[in-house]
């Protein structure tokens, strides 16, 4: 109860900070007002840490983390803290479903758990911007959001149903059954790019580009190899990405590691990529064998994923993959090993804590969404130079893939806010064991309670400000504070729920011990208090009464027989 009481106080403090941040989120507040609000916030933050350090029971600290036990890792996460309803929403004729909200979808980008594939259509598809559901091979391995091409046809995948073996997509051109659509990029750069956020154009006529896609630039150059994530698609052959190095025109670009192989039995197999080095996939990730009836990447025939293995070791030129079963030969065609681009220079997913703001603006030329990122640590805000169109998917900041709704000029000024938290590694708490409470009289009968630290660090309250750095948008700083507080309140709720559950468990354990003790005492008393003489007399009396009763019944039966003889 002591810990829960302290957490209750901390909850009230955070609610107060949140109310101050909501007040500061309005642009009508003056700099003096914001300074006064910030002064109170700073004092309340200090009190959160003081409660964490000073809360104890019988001298045992409870909330400073000294009895936290094992603390698991936290994945990158996001919370949509505000999302305006659009004045106009409806069918837009674009690959993405229309939404009544400015933010139709937001996800933290996790690099594809498997490579992109070629897929064979098993029925005809019409040329239409209206989504169609068609049967395909290997539907279990298709990711919604992927883009396929077949010649000049572009296919946008909206969803999959592995049980039915179908995908839902839009098709820019009609495709016949047995057509192969490719998600592969094996191209070269058409123009040079400099390091940093830049636009790259490929030399092909149409490419399967989509936000969140991983591409390898200049893989044959060990010193200039670069792995990037597509942030925004500008056209069939151009995209925006953050390049760690400069790249000249004419260098190769592809989005997968692949090599032609023969049929494989179960066990380990080593694949040598020779003169074309690859970005080594992370050990433990899956690799796949795909079979194509014709030549690799041909426009006719069938293609299907026929085996799955696990990468156990990899270098820039070789990959060792373990297969638990032999590769079946379905078509008598060509086999290809496919593995994901791995751990080269791939940007860390959600590297920063921060807040993303999307706002509909009128540029004088078009109605678009302007995206701004507020960095919690530096208290600075950055405006993207790239605008977002209605129903467009992009990943401009912090590894977050967003899809906008079908906004129009009637929606100018509406906004959406996304609070992002970076992933944190698991904490090894060998020096901070769980709090062990004895639950019985025997050795080892204990209940372990891991009570995490409840301070600004564990609650992810890194920088609570309603002012921001010079030049930053103070209203966005306040929105970021609101997002931090909401996350911290959820953490506190989880902690209080855990402590409450542990208290209930200890209470039930105590009740069980009390009941057992009572039963043992009752049994012991019955044995100790028994009068042997009295009990023996009662037993003898019962035996005599039983024998007398039996004798009387026997004589009554004999007398009945005598009386009946008198009437015969």
Residue 91 pLDDT > 60, yes or no? no
Residue 536 pLDDT > 50, yes or no? yes
d(CA 187, CA 236) in angstroms, rounded, equals 13
d(CA 419, CA 397) in angstroms, rounded, equals 12
Query: Dihedral (C-alpha) 472, 476, 481, 484: value to the nearest 10 degrees?
Result: -110
Residue 104 pLDDT > 50, yes or no? yes
- Residue 461: which pLDDT band, with cuts at 50, 70 and 90? confident
Residue 447 pLDDT > 60, yes or no? yes
Decide if 146 contacts 159 (C-beta within 8 A).
no
0.85 exceeded by the pTM? Answer: no
Provide the angle, in degrees to the nearest 10, between the axes of the packed helices 2-24 and 474-529: 160
Decide if 485 contacts 17 (C-beta within 8 A).
yes
The pLDDT score that the predictor gives to residue 216 is 87
Name the 3-class secondary structure at 318: strand
DSSP annotation string for 335-379: EEEEE---SSSPPPSS-S-EEEEEEEEE-SS-EEEEEEEEETTTT
The pLDDT score that the predictor gives to residue 116 is 78
Decide if 398 contacts 420 (C-beta within 8 A).
yes
For 399-408, write each residue's pLDDT tens digit. Answer: 899 999 989 9
The pLDDT score that the predictor gives to residue 553 is 67
Indicate the average pLDDT of the chain.
84
The pLDDT score that the predictor gives to residue 80 is 93
d(CA 505, CA 495) in angstroms, rounded, equals 15
Which residue in this structure is represented by tokens 């009572």? 518
The pLDDT score that the predictor gives to residue 193 is 96
For 108-130, write each residue's pLDDT tens digit. Answer: 876 666 787 889 999 999 999 88
- Residue 73: which pLDDT band, with cuts at 50, 70 and 90? confident
Distances (CA, A) of 149 to 66, 236, 506, 533: 56, 10, 61, 100
Which residue in this structure is represented by tokens 């999959």? 160
- Residue 299: which pLDDT band, with cuts at 50, 70 and 90? very low
Task: Please enumerate in sequence order all residues whose Cβ is within 8 A of that of 291, keeping only pairs 6 or more positions apart, or say none.
Answer: 303, 304, 306, 327, 329, 330, 331, 333, 334, 335, 336
Assigned token pair, 207? 């490419």
What is the pLDDT averaged over residues 143-149?
A: 86
Residue 95 pLDDT > 60, yes or no? no
Residues recorded for the chain: 568
Segment of 337-341, 347-351, 537-541 carrying the highest mean pLDDT: 337-341
Burial of 272 (0-12, 13-18, 19+ CB in 10 A): exposed
Distances (CA, A) of 218 to 54, 268, 335, 511, 542: 57, 29, 25, 69, 103
What is the pLDDT averaged over residues 349-376?
A: 92
Q: Tell me the Cα Rg of the chain.
A: 36
Q: In what order do the strands lie in the sheet with 238-243?
A: 103-108, 400-404, 393-394, 232-233, 238-243, 196-201
């Amino acid at each position: 109860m002591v810990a829960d009481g302290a957490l209750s106080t901390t909850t009230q403090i955070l609610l107060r900070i949140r109310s101050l941040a909501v007040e500061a989120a309005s642009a009508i507040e003056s700099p003096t007002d914001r300074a006064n609000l910030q002064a109170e916030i700073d004092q309340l933050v200090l009190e959160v840490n003081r409660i964490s350090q000073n809360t104890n029971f019988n001298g045992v600290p409870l909330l400073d983390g000294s009895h936290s036990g094992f603390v698991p890792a936290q994945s990158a996460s996001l919370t949509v803290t505000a999302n305006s309803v659009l004045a106009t929403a409806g069918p837009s004729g674009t690959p993405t479903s229309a939404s009544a909200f400015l933010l139709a979808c937001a996800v933290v980008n996790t690099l594809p758990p498997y490579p992109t594939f070629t897929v064979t259509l098993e029925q005809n598809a019409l040329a239409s911007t209206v989504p169609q559901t068609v049967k395909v091979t290997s539907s279990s391995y298709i990711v919604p959001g992927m883009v396929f091409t077949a010649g000049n046809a572009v296919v946008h995948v909206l969803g999959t149903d592995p049980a039915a073996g179908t995908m839902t997509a839009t098709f820019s051109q009609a495709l016949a059954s047995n057509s192969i659509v490719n998600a592969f990029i094996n191209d070269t750069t058409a123009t040079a790019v400099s390091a940093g956020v830049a636009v790259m154009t490929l030399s092909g006529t149409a490419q399967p580009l989509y936000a969140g896609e991983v591409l390898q630039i200049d893989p044959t150059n060990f010193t200039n190899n670069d792995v990037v994530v597509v942030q925004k698609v500008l056209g069939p052959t151009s995209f925006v990405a953050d390049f760690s190095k400069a790249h000249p025109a004419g260098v190769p670009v592809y989005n997968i590691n692949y090599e032609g192989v023969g049929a494989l039995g179960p066990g380990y197999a080593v694949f040598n990529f020779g003169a074309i080095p690859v970005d080594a996939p992370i050990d433990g990730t899956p690799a796949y064998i795909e079979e194509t009836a014709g030549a690799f990447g041909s426009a006719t025939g069938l293609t299907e994923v026929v085996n799955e293995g696990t990468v156990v070791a990899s270098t820039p030129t070789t990959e060792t993959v373990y297969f638990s079963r032999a590769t079946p030969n379905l078509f008598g065609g060509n086999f290809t090993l496919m593995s994901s681009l791995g751990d080269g220079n791939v940007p860390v997913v959600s590297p920063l804590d921060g807040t993303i703001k999307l706002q509909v603006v009128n540029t004088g030329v078009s109605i678009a969404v302007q995206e701004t990122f507020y960095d919690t640590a530096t208290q600075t805000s950055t405006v993207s130079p790239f605008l977002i169109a209605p129903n467009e998917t992009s990943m401009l900041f912090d590894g977050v893939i967003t899809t906008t709704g079908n906004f129009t000029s009637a929606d100018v000024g509406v906004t959406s806010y996304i609070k992002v938290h970076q992933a944190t590694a698991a904490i090894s708490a060998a020096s901070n064991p769980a709090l062990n409470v004895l639950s019985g009289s025997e050795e080892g009968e204990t209940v372990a309670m891991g009570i995490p630290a409840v301070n600004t660090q564990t609650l992810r309250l890194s920088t609570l400000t309603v002012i921001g750095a010079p030049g930053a948008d103070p209203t966005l700083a306040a929105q970021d504070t609101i997002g931090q507080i909401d996350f911290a309140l959820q953490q506190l709720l989880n902690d209080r729920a855990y402590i409450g559950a542990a208290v209930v468990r200890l209470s039930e354990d105590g009740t069980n011990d009390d009941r057992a003790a009572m039963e043992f005492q009752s049994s012991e008393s019955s044995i100790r208090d028994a009068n042997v003489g009295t009990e023996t007399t009662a037993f003898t009396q019962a035996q005599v009464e039983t024998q007398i009763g039996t004798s009387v019944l026997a004589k009554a039966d004999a007398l009945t027989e005598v009386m009946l003889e008198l009437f015969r």
